[in-house]
Amino acid sequence: MTETGFLTGQYVHLQLTPASVGERIAAQLIDWIVMLAYVIFMAWLLGKINAEFMTCTILIVLPILFYTLLCEILNQGQSIGKMITKTRVVKADGSIPSIGAFIIRWLMYLVDGPMLGYIGVLVMLLNRRNQRFGDLAAGTIVIKIKKYKDIQVSLDEYEFLDRNYKPRYPQASDLSLEQIEIITRTLSMKSQDFLPRTAALARKVAQKLNIEQQETSNTAFLQRIVRDYQYYALEEI
């Protein structure tokens, strides 16, 4: 089975397995069943109260139209079908996609879906990450969610995070891989302007995450941010 590897930071290496074409089709079928059940229920309910046509359209058509988009944005890349099949949409580096990426995937279903004969299935069969056109355009993949024990982690490089590690800044999980790499590169610098650089970066990180720095040292604060990011990266998989 094909696996996709990426680094969540300088110290942790994760191996993610793309969802199979069968799993992706199963997730889609479950979502269709959910949408069909919603349509039937709402049609019955609105019929009971003799709702107007425009009301029926708004309450039935719009939720179905935006179902996948809203589910994935609000539920970190998972619709109900993906939750049941234990799959999730992530960026190529394993992080949660932006709203823009989710919108691109959703719009590209016009190409991938039934309107053009499910060409997305053919595209998935022809690439090793099982990506449809929407994934390729948005830079996303659909992965199988593995439990913590299934993740391949280099523990000798990750020894400072033991079982009793208590994260301090949950907001650190909102940072991107690129931002974490900037922090780790800055911390590894051995230049004369190290202190002003770390001070400036610490201020920017605190402002971005809207948090108060609790450490007396800027270096200690940035190290804590990286460690907390790594903690949540592991816990979410």
Q: What is the pLDDT along the chain (237 residues), one digit of tens a residue?
A: 555 554 444 344 455 688 999 999 999 999 999 999 999 999 999 888 888 888 888 899 999 999 999 999 999 899 999 999 999 998 877 778 899 999 999 999 988 887 676 788 888 988 888 899 999 999 999 988 764 334 434 433 444 456 677 889 999 988 887 788 889 888 888 788 889 999 999 999 999 999 999 999 999 999 999 888 888 776 654
Predicted local distance difference test score (pLDDT) of residue 118: 79
77 phi-psi bin (left φ>0, alpha ψ -120 to 50, beta other): left
Pairing of strands 4-7, 13-16: antiparallel
Please spell the DSSP secondary structure of 85-128, one letter per residue: HTEEEEETTSSPPPHHHHHHHHHHHHHHSGGGTSHHHHHHHTST
Q: Where are the beta strands (DSSP E) in 116-159?
A: 140-144
Q: For residues 141 and 92, is the Cβ–Cβ distance under 8 A?
A: yes
**What are 140's strand-pairing partners?**
91
- pTM exceeds cut of 0.75: no
